[in-house]
Chains A and B, each alone.
Chain A
């Protein structure tokens, strides 16, 4: 068993050391729960550590969803252009892959005032 443990440690040390870190959303623009006088031109997500978006969709006031473009690599601050938004309530749904392999889901709700 001691030999097996040593073997396991050697094998484990061969693995990936490349990593993002366990990230969470620190803040965003538009902020969650915000009410905006004018439609935002872009969505900005600011994570605690570099994270890779694996899903990003915009849920519109009529319930329809639109996929938004995702950066191809992990980033600390993710800036995504938004389509032209009419007044109403929107929800951004995202999933971020963190370094430890976690998929962290999240959403941001905001309203564009008429």
Chain B
């Protein structure tokens, strides 16, 4: 029960952290294609997500001593509290707190403030993925760190963009959506393949052999690949059919596009849940009992 709750918090934390930082990356990349009211709606959505992410990260920190102890009285052990908040292991936690707090502050302010603080703060939060986990310890860290950075950055951009585009679609036709979609497509068409390439390279370096694909870590990795393939199918449908239909002004296009964007969103949630499990419970080189 304690471990199941911990995993739930971890997975939800991944979802909210990537959506919050992704909304900032979306605004940074697509700002020129979104009018003032659209940008305001995305900032409001980003702020709500960021505050939820911050609350969840804090909850994760408070819960971690229970997970370390494997018992509900774990919080009463001061050595475990120190381990969570004050040791080297706490770096990722404080990076997330500081980064998300910075994003929240920036999104509460005018666009000028956003430009100044939101992007660096989002990067601070995302950098937390680079200071813990398998990549930190692997002998090939010099190769893995840039790959993981690219992987996380593009994943956040893609995930945050889906929620932002749905918010914009809800405001159409009052707010023009086509320029933002076109701008997002121009970015995504080369970023998403990079995301896949970085993921394949990470797996290639981290997995000791092909037999590892039959162990829990490898099986979850295969699940991620399957979900990614489905995502690519939906992305192709959007790019080749629904976005052109929207640009032609076909009446059904906005609702169809909202539907496929929602499907993409939930497929990525599935990918993130699988990622939370594979990075939190298993090691690339060993099975769970190791």
Contact of B131 among A7, A12, A24, A54 (CB under 8 A): A12
Contact of A19 among B79, B88, B126 (CB under 8 A): B88
- In the complex, how many angstroms separate the beta carbon of A104 from the nearest chain B beta carbon? 7
Interface size class of A (residues with CB under 8 A): 20 to 34
Contact of B153 among A5, A100, A101 (CB under 8 A): A5
Chain B residues closer than 8 Å to A13, beta-carbon distance: 130, 145
Indicate if the CB atoms of A101 and B68 lie closer than 8 Å. Answer: no
CA distance A18 to B92 in the complex (A): 13
Chain A residues closer than 8 Å to B280, beta-carbon distance: 102
Chain B binding surface, main DSSP class: helix
Nearest residue (CB) in A for B6 is A103
Q: Given A13-B145, A16-B131, do A97 and B83 touch, yes or no (CB 8 Å)?
A: yes
Q: Given A8-B149, A8-B153, A95-B69, do A24 and B25 touch, yes or no (CB 8 Å)?
A: no
Indicate if the CB atoms of A9 and B191 lie closer than 8 Å. Answer: no
CA distance A50 to B150 in the complex (A): 31
Indicate if the CB atoms of A21 and B137 lie closer than 8 Å. Answer: yes
Query: Can you name 30 A-B pairs with beta carbons within 8 Å?
Result: A1-B29, A1-B191, A4-B28, A5-B149, A8-B126, A11-B124, A11-B127, A14-B127, A15-B91, A15-B136, A16-B132, A16-B136, A18-B88, A22-B285, A22-B286, A24-B289, A52-B83, A54-B69, A54-B70, A54-B80, A54-B83, A55-B69, A55-B70, A55-B71, A72-B79, A100-B137, A101-B89, A102-B280, A102-B281, A106-B289
Write the residues of chain B forming the contact surface with A, with a CB cutoff of 8 angstroms: 3, 25, 28-29, 67-71, 74, 79-80, 83, 88-89, 91-92, 95, 119-120, 123-124, 126-127, 129-134, 136-137, 145-146, 149-150, 152-153, 157, 187, 191, 280-281, 283, 285-286, 289-290
